[in-house]
Amino acid sequence: MKDDIAKAIEKAIGRLKSEGVIPSQAAASVPIEIPKDPKFGDFASPVALSLAKEAGLKPRDLALKIAGEVMEEKDPLILKVEVAGPGFINLYLADKWLDHAVKAIRKAGSDYGRSGNGAGERVNVEFVSANPVGPLNIVNARAAAVGDSLVRMMNFTGYKAESEFYVNDAGNQVGVLTDSVYARFRQSLGEDYPFPEEGYQGLYVKDMAEKAKEEFGPELANMPPEEAKRLLRPFSLKQMLEWQKKSLKAYDVEFDTWTSEKSLRDKGAVEEALDRMRDNDDLYEEEGAVWFKSTKYGDDKDRVMIKGDGEYTYVAPDFAYHLDKLGRGFTKLIDVLGPDHHGYQGRMQAGIKSFGYPEGTLYVLILQLVTLLRGGEAVKMSKRAGEFITMDDLLEEVPKDAARYFFIMRNTNSHLEFDMEVAAKSTPDNPVWYVQYAHARCCSIFEKAQREGTDLTLMEGADCSLLNHPTETALVRRMSVFPDELWAAVEELQPSRMARYAYELAGEFHRFYTECRVVSEDVALSAARLALVDAVRITIANLLPLMGISAPERM
RNA sequence: GCGCCUGUAGCUCAGUGGAUAGAGCAACUGCCUUCUAAGCAGUGGGCCGUAAGUUCGAUUCUUACCAGGCGCGCCA
According to the model, what pLDDT value does residue A92 have? 92
Who contacts A11 (Cβ-Cβ below 8 Å, separation ≥6)?
A69, A73
What ipTM was predicted for this assembly?
A: 0.94
Q: Which nucleotide C1' is nearest A441 CA? A: B36
Nucleotide nearest to A168 (CA to C1'): B76
Name the residue with the least CA to C1' distance from nucleotide B3.
A343
CB A373 within 8 A of CB A138: no
Positions in chain A whose pLDDT score sits under 70: 27-28, 382-387, 428
pLDDT digits (tens, 9 = 90+) for A402-423: 999 999 999 998 889 999 988 9
Q: How far is the CA of A415 from the C1' of B70 (A)?
A: 11
C-alpha span between A29 and A195 (Å, rounded) = 64
Q: Which nucleotide is nearest to A174 (CA to C1')?
A: B76
What are the two backbone dihedrals, phi and then psi, of residue A300, each rounded to the nearest 5 degrees?
-75, -25
Smallest CA–C1' distance to B76, residue: A314
A66/B42 CA-to-C1' distance in Å: 40
Nucleotides of B under 7 A from a protein CB: 2-6, 12-15, 17-20, 22-26, 34-41, 56-57, 69-76
CA of A532 to C1' of B8 (A): 36
A438-448 residue pLDDT tens: 999 999 999 99
Report the number of secondary-structure helices (H) and strands (E) in chain A. Answer: 20, 14
- Name the nucleotide nearest A311; use CA and C1': B74
Question: What is the spatial distance between Cα A482 and Cα A505, in angstroms, rounded to a whole number?
Answer: 9
CB A290 within 8 A of CB A305: yes
Query: Measuring CA to CA, how many Å separate A403 from each of A134, A141, A422, A495, A504?
Result: 21, 9, 10, 14, 19
Give the residues across from A124 on adjacent strands: A162, A333
Q: Give pLDDT, residue A7.
A: 86
Nearest CA-CA partner of A111 in A405, A458, A545, A550:
A545
Alpha carbon of A269 to those of A98, A309, A501, A521: distances in Å? 57, 20, 43, 72
CA/C1' separation A334–B66 (Å): 35
Which nucleotide lies closest to A53 by the C1' atom and the CA atom? B56
Q: Which CA-bearing residue is nearest the C1' of B13?
A: A410
CA of A158 to C1' of B23 (A): 31
Closest nucleotide to A84 by C1' from CA: B19
Q: Cα dihedral sign for A66, A71, A72, A75?
A: positive
| Nearest nucleic acid nucleotide to A40, CA to C1' distance | B19
Name the nucleotide nearest A436; use CA and C1': B38
CA of A366 vs C1' of B64, distance in Å? Answer: 27
DSSP A119-141: TT-EEEEE-----TTS---HHHH
Round to a whole number and report the distance in Å from the CA of A534 to the C1' of B38: 21
Q: What is the Cα–Cα distance from A432 to A277, expressed in whole angstroms? A: 49
Q: Nearest residue (Cα to C1') for B26?
A: A429
pLDDT at A30: 82
Any idea what DSSP says for residue A457?
G
Closest residue, CA to C1' of B6: A414
CB A144 within 8 A of CB A253: yes
Which nucleotide is nearest to A508 if distance is taken from CA to C1'?
B40
Residue A295 CA and nucleotide B44 C1' are separated, in Å, by 56
CA–C1' distance A429–B44 (Å)?
20
Mean pLDDT, all residues of chain A: 92
Distance between the alpha carbon (CA) of A503 and the C1' atom of B23, Å? 10
Residue A537 belongs to what H/E stretch?
helix A523-543
In this predicted structure, what is the pLDDT of residue A300? 86
What single-letter DSSP state applies at residue A33? B
- Report the distance from CA of residue A272 to the C1' of nucleotide B41 in Å, as an integer: 67
In the 8-state DSSP scheme, what is residue A312? B
Which stretches within A398-469 are classed as H helix?
A: 400-408, 420-424, 431-451
